[in-house]
């Protein structure tokens, strides 16, 4: 139940911000928006505004803005046809249409930044403690496999005393793929034990890693500092997601995508861990959603931007039939990919 509610809230927030971006820029550009829909599928109910229908649909995991098209105007027998044509999507300059399309993903970056700012203003900024005590472990990494636990104190590595976290990481980072002897004071019993652990080589940093993190505390900061840290976090996650995408496309790392089932599991787990984790996760997902929507794939915003760029270079509209086939093909491929990753998620869930 918690997972279902969290998924609806998280996806709903991302979709609302995304579509609101399209909506507000379209209105500012003089376009007529016929419908602003939250959700996809059959319409549950709607409120008719002055010129826009605000509707809620059955499945709350999507949404759309429907703009007035020139084709619809031509089919109408209206007295003010010229005025309506001037407010259609196609009648506007290409740069305005591109702004409308790009505004959706842009608002996902804005949402990510807002959530990070709220997170830091409310809970404080996580700050690492420079002590030789383990604050967290990553599953299936050397430290966890060797039996280290949160709260364990690392006294020595290969006979070298490690009085603080910097000393610990220095020994680990400088010895990738080398078996190291750790002298550990266990958190509960205070017994001194000796363990042998081999740091994994990390190709990105060129260092050794065993999958441990330091203890952290949340440092209270001002609203202005929260804004600064929130923007920095947004930029850093944007850079990270783009870098990972490039590495997957170039084959430097496995091409792995999580489907809706896996994402729902992650959101549910984040919700159970508390509000701070859920806020952080939603911010990250919103940034990912914005970047993925900008990919030049037909049926996504990036695909529409690519078509508009093509039309701008050629200085004439693309053949409507050709454009329709491109959109249909892109949508079919997108659905096929969605089905494939969902199937993989379900199989992984059953195999666990």
Chain-centroid distance of CA 250 in Å reads 21
Cα–Cα distance, 194 to 147 (Å, whole number): 11
Q: Are 37 and 66 in contact (CB under 8 A)?
A: yes
C-alpha distances in Å from residue 84, one per residue of 43, 52, 256, 324 = 26, 14, 46, 23
Q: Are 337 and 329 in contact (CB under 8 A)?
A: no
**For residue 339, what are the β-bridge partners?**
none
Cα–Cα distance, 200 to 172 (Å, whole number): 9
Is 236 in the active site? no
**Secondary structure percentages of the chain, helix, strand, coil, to 5:** 55, 20, 25
C-alpha distances in Å from residue 257, one per residue of 245, 288, 343 = 10, 12, 12
Q: What SS3 state is found at 270?
A: helix
Cα–Cα distance, 251 to 36 (Å, whole number): 39
| Per-residue tokens: 126 | 């996580």
CB-neighbour burial class of residue 7 (10 A; exposed 0-12, middle 13-18, buried 19+): buried
- Find tokens 């910097």 and name the residue: 166
Cα–Cα distance, 30 to 321 (Å, whole number): 27
Q: Which of 19, 75, 83, 139 is catalytic?
A: 19
Q: Nearest to residue 11, comparing CAs of 37, 36, 39, 45?
A: 39
Q: Are 85 and 292 in contact (CB under 8 A)?
A: no
**For residue 200, what are the β-bridge partners?**
209
Catalytic residues: 19
């Amino acid at each position: 139940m918690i997972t279902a509610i969290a998924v609806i809230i998280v996806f709903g927030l991302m979709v609302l911000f995304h579509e609101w971006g399209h909506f507000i820029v379209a209105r500012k550009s003089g376009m007529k928006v016929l419908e602003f829909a939250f959700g996809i599928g059959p319409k549950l109910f709607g409120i008719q505004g002055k010129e826009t229908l605000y509707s809620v649909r059955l499945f709350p995991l999507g949404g759309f803005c429907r703009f007035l098209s020139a084709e619809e105007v031509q089919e109408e027998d209206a007295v003010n046809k010229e005025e309506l044509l001037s407010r259609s999507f196609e009648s506007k300059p290409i740069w305005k249409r591109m702004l409308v399309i790009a505004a959706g993903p842009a608002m996902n970056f804005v949402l990510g930044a807002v959530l990070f700012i709220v997170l830091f203003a409310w809970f404080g900024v996580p700050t690492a403690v420079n002590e030789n005590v383990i604050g967290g472990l990553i599953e299936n990494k050397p430290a966890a496999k060797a039996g280290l636990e949160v709260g364990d104190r690392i006294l020595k590595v290969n006979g070298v005393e490690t009085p603080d976290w910097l000393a610990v990481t220095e020994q680990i980072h400088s010895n990738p793929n080398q078996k190291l002897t750790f002298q550990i004071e266990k958190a509960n019993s205070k017994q001194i034990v000796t363990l042998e652990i081999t740091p994994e080589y990390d190709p990105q940093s060129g260092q050794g890693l065993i999958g441990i993190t330091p203890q952290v505390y949340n440092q209270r900061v001002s609203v202005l500092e929260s804004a600064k840290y929130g923007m920095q976090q947004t930029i850093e996650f944007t850079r990270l997601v783009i870098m990972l995408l490039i590495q997957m496309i170039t084959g430097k790392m496995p091409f792995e995508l999580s489907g809706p089932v896996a994402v729902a599991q992650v959101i549910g787990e984040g919700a159970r861990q508390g509000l701070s984790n859920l806020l952080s996760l939603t911010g990250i997902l919103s940034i990912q959603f914005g970047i993925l929507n900008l990919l030049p794939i037909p049926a996504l915003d990036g695909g529409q931007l690519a078509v508009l760029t093509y039309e701008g270079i050629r200085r004439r509209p693309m053949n409507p039939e050709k454009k329709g086939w491109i959109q249909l093909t892109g949508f079919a491929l997108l659905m096929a990919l969605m089905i494939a990753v969902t199937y993989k998620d379900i199989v992984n869930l059953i195999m666990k």
